[in-house]
Every structure is written in C-alpha cells, then in structure tokens.
C-alpha cells in the first residue's frame, strides 16, 4: 500500500489482465498475426538437440503457399492418392460434425463438440502415424478415428448412448474409447491424458516395442499441472511420445492469452524442458503431416519427444452448450489469416492437376450421403430421447472387475425399488 | 521380518513372477526408498523395472495409468500419504474410472503404495491418514495392513488385482507393533508371531477382515496401527472385547463385522484419521443399519480430532490408550 517513505517515488504497481483483440461487434483485423512465408522454415535433422529449436518454436512451419503449391524443405511429397484420402477424411469429419451438431439441436442427443477448422490437425496426424501407435486425444480429435476409418455408425451409437453404444451409455457423447483403433478413452478432465501418454510410451520403450504414443490438448489446457508433469517425465526418460498442442486461440470464452500466449508460443515451452518444439500452421494439412512424421521418426529412433504447436482457429462455438457471439467478434473465423484447411488442401490438389471442382462437389455429396446413411443406421439402435436403452443393472457393471457386495446390494435395491414403484422405466432394453 | 522387509519381499516375489510389474517413485530406485521398502530391487531387476521419478505426484500416477493401459502392472510409491493430493485427479478421475468409462477396454491395474499415519512426530505433513478420501471414490480399493505377515500377503493380492488399489502402510509400525504407550520402549516385530513371514509367495485375499481377538463384550473395529493399540488397551483393562482388523476398507468384510456386533451388541470404532466424514462414519452407519436391533449401546468412535495433525501435541491428538479406555468404559456401562 502507499505510505512507504522509502519508495514514495515509485509508480504504484499495476496488474495486467489479458484482453483479446476483438469483442462482439468489433471489426476484425488479424494483420498483427505473423504469418511467415510457406517453405521458409528449415527442416532440422530428427536427431538435433532441443536447444537448437528456438527459432522453429517461434516461427511457423508452412508448406502450402498462397498459390496452392507445396514448397520448402517440409514438403512431405505425398502421393496424389494420399492427398485425396486426407482431403476426403477431412471432408468426412466436417460432414459428420455438421450432422451431429444438428442431431443435438433436434434433441437426439444431449451434447456435441465440432472441430470445424481444425480437421487437418487430427486427420493429417493420423495419416502420418502408424495405425498401432496409441493416440491419447482430447475431445476435439474425432478426426483421428475418422482418418483411421473407424465406423461412423459406431461413433454415432456412442453419441446417441443407444443400445449399440460400445460404452453402454456410461459416457457423455463424444467421449469415445476405441482400443482397436489406437484411440484411448477420452476423459472429461483436461490434460490428464498427457502423462498417461508418456507412461504408455515409456512402457513401449521399456518393452523394446516399436510403437509410439501421441497426445493432444488444447492451448488452454497447457495451463494444467499435468502438462508440466508430462513434459518433465518425457524429457527425463526420453519417452517416444509426440505432444500436440492445438492452439485454436480459444478455451471456451478465454482467449489464448489466459494460457500465456501473450508472452510466448506454446512450442517454445518445449525448449525449456529439453524437448524439440515445432510450431506449425495447423490449417496446412501438409505441414501437420510433415511435422508429425518428423516427430514420429524422432521418437521411433530413440531421439526423444517432440512438442508440436498447431496454430489454428476454433471456427465454431466450444460446444453445443456455447454461444461464441457472447465473447468474440462474429467476424473472426472468416478473417483468420491461415484460412480453411479443407479449402487449402483442395486448392493444392487442383493446382497440381490432381483434382477439380466437379470432383470436389461429387466428394462432398458422397461424404454427406455416407454420414446420412450412417446416421440412419445408428438411429435404428435408438437415440437418447428414447428412454433407457441399456439394461438397468448395467449401471453397476465395470466399476470393478468383479462386483463387490455393496454394489450388488445397491443394484438389487434399485431393481426392487423400480419394481415396486408402479412406474417402471419406459422402454428399457 | 519387519513390515518394511515384508513389503520388500512381496515386491521381490512379484517382480520375479511377472515381468509386467514395475516399481517407480521418488527415491525408490538406486537408493531403495526413504524407508528402504524397495532396497535392492533396482540392482536385481534393472533400471527399466525399478526407477526413480521426478518429484511430481500427479505425474507418477498419470504415467502409471498410461503404463497400465499399455499392459504393465505399475506399483508406484507416493513417499508420504500426506503428499498424495497432487495425484488425486489422476486417481479419482482417471485410475478409478478408466474401466467404467471405457466399458473395460482399458484398465488401471495399479497398486499405489504410500506410508501413512501418525505417531512418529511427523507433524502436519508426515502423519496424515487420508483413507476416507479414497474409500469415498467408486472404483478404488483401499487396503491397510497391520502386521508384516499381512503386509506381504495383502500387497501380493493388491498387485495381482486388476483394479487400482491404494495400499497404505502404517509407518509407525514398520519396525514394531506400537501399543500406544509412546513413553515406553518400542517393541520390534521379532517377538511378534506375525513377524514370521514366509520368503515365498502367498496371498491374503482383499476384502477379508481378521478377527485378531475373540470376545463377547464389545466389538472393536480398527485397522493399521490402531489394531495394536486397541489390543493392548483391551488386555490392560481386562475387557473381553472382540478386536477386528479390517485390513481392507473397500471392499469391506461386512459379514465378519455384522456377525461380531450381533454377538456382542456393542461397537467401538477406532481410527487415527480425523472424525468428521472419516471412514468411521461409514462403519458406524453400516453397523447401525444392519445391527440396530442387536445394539445395546450407542456406537462409539475414537478418532483423531478435526484438526490438522499437530507436532508437539501429538500424544494429546493421537487416539491412544486413555481415550480408547474411556470410550470402552462408556460403551460397557449400559
């Protein structure tokens, strides 16, 4: 407080509270966002020491230029076939999101989260990883499952908590778990998957396996203590793991400044831990692919972990329960300087003569049909609004491997009460 | 063996049997643990199976969950139970729920070892008994041994169990059975029958209590250090009490408890942990619900006070012979 005679000549301290550039109603001008030229970033050797990554951690690895050409040392030189498959997977993710968002609005499920604008981050990564590498995703990497050609019907069954739901209606929609497709059970608790991925990678290394782990979190979640623990463990044991930070600028209503972005990049955090850090144009599928493949090679050759910051933009609300117009300018998604990942990959394929607008339109129709057909199929198994679709007593199963007496007793009590209530649950399976 | 040697032996036996078992924690590797529970294991099984970790409890448990998902059976150590709180999110939100939320696709077969309890002038952060926090979490098992023999058998069962187990080791009785008389010379396990521990494999099933003293007048429910304190109070007061060492809090051996209280008609619950919402409250509620018509006196609880664990006032805080004796008198009066 004031009154200290010795320091009376100092200005009072002031507390800095970050504020995003634009609020609802503001004109958007993203010219302050630095966008280095495609092809400008050097591609280091996968065995280079982490301390040498400072420049890359503050720059942006970009492959696709404004003319739709793939340029520079990070160009992964993928076959046109691979590019078209990636494009299709991204389109499928977008169509899936669109359909499920609408299903939530129609009351067919309680909740949904889109990944609009971030499709490259998960789809291109899945293409660069081996199928048996284990992914520890957050809730916005549905693209991993779709790029691994997992059944859309199965995903929708989970969203609908219907009678075919592999998780028996126990989990909130989109908290998938697909061990077979190397997709770890999603938790609602942010960043808990980070040290878990490190543990999985350490286990793989200690067993002399060749599989690696990859994990994802948002930039907001990097503030969690688990992020720090995970990076510390990963560097200490040189774990074969890839950390992905999807910097989509927003954590619900908080802009990235509340995770520390005003002062530094998220890739730069890696350097302090002794981890290689790459900062990548997250809307450039080729850059995401190249960075992931680079990090995978580094991990697979025992050279240690990598952190990749995917610089992107969350084009939609946080979830179906969120209204972004309450905290950010409606002009932001369209003004985002890195554009749209699907359009950019499409433009590239057209620029190299491997695609055209007609084929794009046909593909868009096909993926829409595919999603629609899957939805129809999934809805045969019921939707959330249809009442109880799982056997009532399944509620108690899976807490432990074997049901202890106290759970069995509660289960019996519930069934007896339900029986005696005179208002048995409707339509139970 | 003392309890530390018994725990060391359990780890040794299990690591030799199953190469999926890994031991990890702060100072557990080269040094062998601050209480020596993991001494010699790194030398015998190598650094990839027994290793030191950074000082991050949430990291230790989070990494162990990931290892479990891979197919290993981690036995992480948290140096003191007082320091388990940074790992609570990983234990409560992850380890405990993984099987349920993935419908069995992924499991967390961890055994989290941690020294706990007071009586050693440990002050606020080396004395706590946080078992009630864990018994409240669905999906966790909580085990507390009271002798070297039990410690080994229960630890082996915990490691073999496919569910996450919190294994609290009462550090006051690592070296000998503490009878509650802090001002008398300490005993050691060599004179106690449960100090005779087989060197090989054996297991004590989780969820089975041990009636350590049969009696007719009152049932005493206790675990860990308090088992020995209670036995001594009973012997000194000449009370014909039945003393039950619960050994596993979840799943609880309700049958043994019920049978005993129905026989004696009286029940005293003793634990070091603070009273309010402590595990004793659950025990009291269960006994009341199940043995109501057999009860001849109100159920009594002797517990730590609802304060942080003090340093110099330890023996005023600790539920020792005086307080247990008074409670027994009260419960037997009617």
Q: Is B236 a catalytic residue?
A: no
Q: Which of A179, A197, A230 sits opposite B106 (nearest CB)?
A: A179
Can you give the pLDDT at residue B261?
98
Give residue A206's Cα distance to chain centre. 28
CA dihedral A144, A150, A153, A156 (to 10 degrees): -20
Nearest residue to B54 via CA among B76, B29, B25: B25
Q: CB A206 to CB B49 under 8 A?
A: yes
Distance from CA of A232 to the nearest CA of B (A): 7
Which strand ranges, in their side-by-side order, compose the sheet holding B218-222? B210-213, B241-245, B218-222, B267-274, B300-304
Distances in Å between the Cα of A202 and the Cα atoms of A35, A205, A399, B21, B48 are 36, 5, 27, 13, 9
B206: left (phi over 0), alpha (psi -120 to 50) or beta: beta
- The interface residues of chain A toward chain B in range 116-135, judged by CB-CB distance below 8 A, are 134
Tell me how far apart the alpha carbons of residues B112 and B167 are, in angstroms, rounded to a whole number.
Answer: 6
Tens of pLDDT along B40-96? Answer: 999 999 999 999 999 999 999 999 999 999 999 999 999 999 999 999 999 999 999
Minimal CA separation from A161 to chain B, in Å: 13
| Beta-carbon separation of B105 and A170 below 8 A | no
Residues of A in contact with B48 (CB under 8 A): 206
Contact B251 A406 (CB under 8 A): yes
User: CA–CA separation, A202 vs A218, rounded Å?
Assistant: 23
Among candidates A324, A323, A194, A193, which has minimal Cα distance to A249?
A324
Q: Out of B93, B99, B141, whose CB is closest to A189? A: B93
Residue of A177, A200, A230 lying closest to B70 (CB–CB): A200
Mutate to test the interface with B, among A168, A171, A195, A411 (most CBs of B within 10 A): A195
Residues of B in Cβ contact (< 8 Å) with A189: 89, 93-94
Which residues numbered 89-118 in B keep a CB inside 8 Å of some CB on A? 89-90, 93-94, 97-107
| Interface check A405 vs B, CB under 8 A | yes
Search chain A and give the residue with CA nearest B49: A206
Q: What is the mean pLDDT of each run of 10 residues along chain B (334 residues)?
A: 98 98 98 98 98 98 98 98 98 98 98 97 96 98 98 98 98 97 94 97 98 98 98 97 98 98 98 98 98 98 98 96 97 88
Residue A247: phi, psi to the nearest 5? -85, 90
- Which tens digits make up the pLDDT trace of B208-233? 999 999 999 999 999 999 999 999 99
> Residue A112 and residue A110: Cα distance in Å, rounded?
7
Contact A145, A178 (CB under 8 A): yes
**According to the 3-state scheme, what is the secondary structure of B208-226?**
CCEEEECCCCEEEEECCHH
A337 DSSP 8-state letter: T
Are the CB atoms for B65 and B102 separated by under 8 Å?
Answer: no
Q: Which of A175, A204, A230 sits opposite B62 (nearest CB)?
A: A230
Question: Which of A168, A202, A405 lies closest to B251 in CB terms?
Answer: A405
d(CA B135, CA B137): 5
- B26, B94, B126, B242: the catalytic one is B126
B73 part of contact set with chain A, CB < 8 Å:
no
Distance from the first to the final alpha carbon of chain B: 43
Distance from CA of A79 to the nearest CA of B (A): 33
Judged by a CB distance cut-off of 8 A, whether residue A167 touches chain B is yes
The closest CB to that of A200, out of B69, B105, B107, belongs to B69
- Return the pLDDT at A2: 54
A333 in contact with chain B, both atoms CB, cutoff 8 A: no
Name chain B contacts of A168, Cβ cutoff 8 Å: 103
Q: Mark whether B77 is an active-site residue.
A: no
B326 close to A (CB below 8 A): no
Identity of the residue in A175, A398, A405 whose CB atom sits nearest the CB atom of B104: A398
- Residue A407 CB-half CA count within 13 A: 18
Does residue A394 sit at the B interface (CB-CB below 8 Å)? no
Query: Is A380 strand, coil or helix?
Result: coil
* Cβ separation A229–B54 shorter than 8 A: yes
In A207-355, alpha helices (H): 225-237, 266-273, 285-300, 332-335, 341-351
- Measured at the CA of B309, the angle between CA B303 and CA B315, to 5 degrees, comes to 70
Q: Which of residues 224-283 of A touch B (CB under 8 A)?
A: 225-226, 228-230, 232-233, 236
ipTM for the whole complex: 0.97
According to DSSP, residue B271 is labeled E
Smallest CA–CA distance, residue A258 to chain B, in Å, is 22
pLDDT tens digits for chain A (429 residues)?
555 667 778 999 999 999 999 999 999 999 999 999 999 999 999 999 999 999 999 999 999 999 999 999 999 999 999 999 999 999 999 999 999 999 999 999 999 999 999 999 999 999 999 999 999 999 999 999 999 999 999 999 999 999 999 999 999 999 999 999 999 999 999 999 999 999 999 999 999 999 999 999 999 999 999 999 999 999 999 999 999 999 999 999 999 999 999 999 999 999 999 999 999 999 999 999 999 999 999 999 999 999 999 999 999 999 999 999 999 999 999 999 999 999 999 999 999 999 999 999 999 999 999 999 999 999 999 999 887 788 888 999 999 999 999 999 999 999 888 888 876 665 554
B14 has a chain A CB within 8 A of its CB? no
Q: Does A319 touch chain B (CB under 8 A)?
A: no
Q: Is B135 on the interface with A (CB under 8 A)?
A: no
What 8-state DSSP symbol labels residue A189? Answer: S
**Inter-axis angle of helices A285-300 and A80-105, to 10 degrees?**
110
Residues of chain B neighbouring A404 (CB-CB closer than 8 A)? 207, 250-251
For residue A44, give the H/E element and its range: none
**Adjacent-strand bridge partners of A242:** A214, A306
Separation of CA B326 from chain center: 25
């Amino acid at each position: 407080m004031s009154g200290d005679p010795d320091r009376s000549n100092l200005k009072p301290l002031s507390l800095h509270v970050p504020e995003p550039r634009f609020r609802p109603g503001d004109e958007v001008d993203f010219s302050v966002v630095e966008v280095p030229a495609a092809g400008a970033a050097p591609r280091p050797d996968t065995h280079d020491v982490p301390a040498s990554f400072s420049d890359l951690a503050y720059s942006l690895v970009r492959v696709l230029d404004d003319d739709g050409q793939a340029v520079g040392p990070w160009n992964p030189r993928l076959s046109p076939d691979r590019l078209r498959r990636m494009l299709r997977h991204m389109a499928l993710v977008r169509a899936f999101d669109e359909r499920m968002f609408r299903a939530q609005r129609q009351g067919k499920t309680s909740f949904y989260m889109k990944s609009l604008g971030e499709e490259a981050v998960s789809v291109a990564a899945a293409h660069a990883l081996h199928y048996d590498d284990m992914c520890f995703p957050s809730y916005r990497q549905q693209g991993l499952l779709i790029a691994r050609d997992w059944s859309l019907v199965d995903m929708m069954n989970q969203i609908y908590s219907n009678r075919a739901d592999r998780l028996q209606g126990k989990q909130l929609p989109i908290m998938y778990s697909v061990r077979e497709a190397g997709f770890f059970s999603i938790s609602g608790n942010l960043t808990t998957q980070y040290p878990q991925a490190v543990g999985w990678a350490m286990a793989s290394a200690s067993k002399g396996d060749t599989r690696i782990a990859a994990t994802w979190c948002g930039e907001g979640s990097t503030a969690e203590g688990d992020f720090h623990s995970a990076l510390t463990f990963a560097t200490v044991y040189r774990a074969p793991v890839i950390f992905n930070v999807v910097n989509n600028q927003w954590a619900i209503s908080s802009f990235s400044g509340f995770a520390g972005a005003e002062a530094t990049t998220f890739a730069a955090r890696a350097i302090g831990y002794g981890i290689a850090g790459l900062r990548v144009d997250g809307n450039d599928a080729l850059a995401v692919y190249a960075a992931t493949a680079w990090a995978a090679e580094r991990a697979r050759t025992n050279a240690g972990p990598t952190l990749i910051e995917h610089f992107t933009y969350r084009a939609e609300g946080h979830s179906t329960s969120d209204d972004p117009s309450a905290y950010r300018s409606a002009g932001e998604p369209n003004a985002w300087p890195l554009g749209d990942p699907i359009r950019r990959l499409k433009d590239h394929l057209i620029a190299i003569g491997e695609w055209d607008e007609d084929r794009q339109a046909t593909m868009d129709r096909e993926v829409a049909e595919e999603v629609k057909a899957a939805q129809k199929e999934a809805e045969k198994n019921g939707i959330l609004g249809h009442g109880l679709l799982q056997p009532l007593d399944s509620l108690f199963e899976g807490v432990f491997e074997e049901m202890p007496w106290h759970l069995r007793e509660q289960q019996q009590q519930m069934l007896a009460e339900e029986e005696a209530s005179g208002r048995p649950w409707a339509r139970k399976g | 063996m003392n309890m530390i040697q018994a725990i060391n032996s359990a780890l040794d036996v299990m690591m030799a049997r199953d190469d999926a078992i890994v031991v990890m924690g702060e100072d557990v590797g080269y040094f062998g643990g601050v209480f020596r529970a993991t001494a010699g294991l790194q030398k015998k099984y190598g650094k990839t199976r027994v290793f030191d970790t950074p000082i991050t409890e949430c990291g230790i448990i989070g990494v162990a969950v990931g290892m479990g998902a891979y197919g290993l059976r981690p036995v992480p150590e948290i140096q003191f139970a007082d320091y388990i709180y940074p790992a609570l999110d990983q234990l409560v939100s992850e380890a405990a729920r993984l099987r349920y939320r993935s419908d069995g696709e992924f499991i967390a077969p961890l055994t989290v070892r941690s020294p706990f309890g007071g009586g050693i002038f440990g002050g606020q952060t080396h004395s706590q008994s946080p078992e009630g926090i864990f018994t409240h979490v669905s999906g966790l098992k909580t085990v507390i041994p009271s002798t070297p023999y039990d410690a080994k058998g229960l630890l082996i069962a915990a490691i073999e169990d496919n569910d996450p187990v919190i294994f609290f080791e009462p550090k006051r009785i690592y070296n000998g059975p503490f009878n509650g008389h802090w001002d008398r010379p300490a005993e050691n396990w060599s004179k106690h029958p449960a100090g005779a521990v087989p060197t090989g494999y054996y297991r004590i099933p989780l969820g089975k209590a041990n009636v350590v003293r049969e009696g007719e007048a009152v049932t005493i429910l206790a675990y860990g250090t308090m088992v020995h304190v209670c036995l001594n109070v009973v012997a000194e007061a000449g009370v014909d009490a039945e003393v039950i060492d619960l050994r596993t809090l979840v799943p609880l051996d309700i049958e043994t408890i019920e049978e005993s209280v129905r026989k004696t008609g009286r029940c005293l619950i003793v634990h070091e942990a603070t009273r309010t919402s402590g595990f004793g409250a659950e025990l009291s509620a269960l006994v009341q619900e199940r043995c109501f018509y057999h009860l001849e006196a109100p159920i009594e609880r002797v517990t730590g006070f609802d304060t942080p664990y003090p340093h110099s006032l330890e023996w005023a805080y600790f539920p020792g012979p005086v307080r247990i004796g008074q409670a027994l008198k009260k419960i037997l009066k009617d």
